[in-house]
Amino acid sequence: MTKYKRVLLKLSGESLMGGKSYGIDEVRLHEYACQVCEIAEMGVQTGIVIGGGNIFRGLSGASKGFDRVRGDQMGMLATVINSLALCSALTALGVKTKVLTATRMEPIGEYYNKWRAVELMQEGCIVIMSGGTGNPFFTTDTGASLRAIETEADVMLKGTRVDGIYSADPEKDPAAVRFDKITYDRIYELGLKVMDLTATIMCKENSLPIVVFDMDTPGNLKRVINGEPVGTLVY
């Protein structure tokens, strides 16, 4: 028996770069697809939201002169590109996968709605929910929180490049301490950059737990699903 029956996995766009400085690293993409395939074979209903920072980030675009709304729309399209890439990698492994989009763009993806997403997951299909919320000024973290709540996921799994939440940036501060567990309120009090504030508040108000873990270590996703003490639990 797995600890979670239905999960929402949030991946950052930057993580897909692997060792590259831009775009998608095919090796990293395959590694992620293999991990998702593992939990699909365990019968876990899985939804995925991927960021687009490896291609374009709306907020950084705005700082360079782009209109913020247009910039965010470009960022949403970047998430669709990443979603199609992961869909392709999963399909190559023999996993049923469907891309849903927050704005209409058939035949690239099917238009998202909660009931269709849940139906597909119940049928054993990996559902990749792309395009953020479909609205500017919202991050993909907020989009992931929204989709997790809508689809009644048991937990949101935030796959990152670090092994949990620290009191400070462990790459800059060797004295940084890792938390095994931490509350939503404590994250806010300490000003930790786990997710944006909107996403954190949404999770708190809807009692959605979050597990932040290192997705770059093969097998970690399966360990989280099995309830092993991997990463940091936010509650």
Return the pLDDT at 182.
98
| Domains along the sequence of the chain with CATH | 6-234 (3.40.1160.10)
C-alpha 143/C-alpha 36 separation (Å) is 20
pLDDT at 204: 98
User: CA 60, CA 72: separation in Å to the nearest integer?
Assistant: 10
Q: Which residues, in sequence order, are CB contacts of 55 under 8 Å at separation 6+?
A: 13, 22, 23, 78, 81, 82
**Average pLDDT of the segment spanning 60-84:** 91
Beta bridge pairs of residue 158: 10, 212
pLDDT, mean of residues 165-193: 93
pTM here is 0.95
Using the predicted structure, report yes or no on whether residue 177 has a pLDDT greater than 90. yes
- Assign 16 a pLDDT band (cuts: 50, 70, 90): very high
**C-beta atoms surrounding 228 within 10 Å:** 12
> Is the pLDDT assigned to residue 61 strictly greater than 80?
no
Cα dihedral sign for 48, 53, 56, 61? positive
Q: How many angstroms separate the CA atoms of 50 and 53, rounded?
A: 9
C-alpha–C-alpha distance, residues 199 and 66, integer Å: 24
pLDDT tens-digit map of 83-141: 999 999 999 999 999 999 999 999 999 999 999 999 999 999 999 999 999 999 999 99
* Token output for 119: 């139906």
Q: Does the pLDDT at position 8 exceed 80?
A: yes
Predicted local distance difference test score (pLDDT) of residue 57: 84
Give the closest residue to 221 by CA, choosing from 152, 158, 162, 147. 158
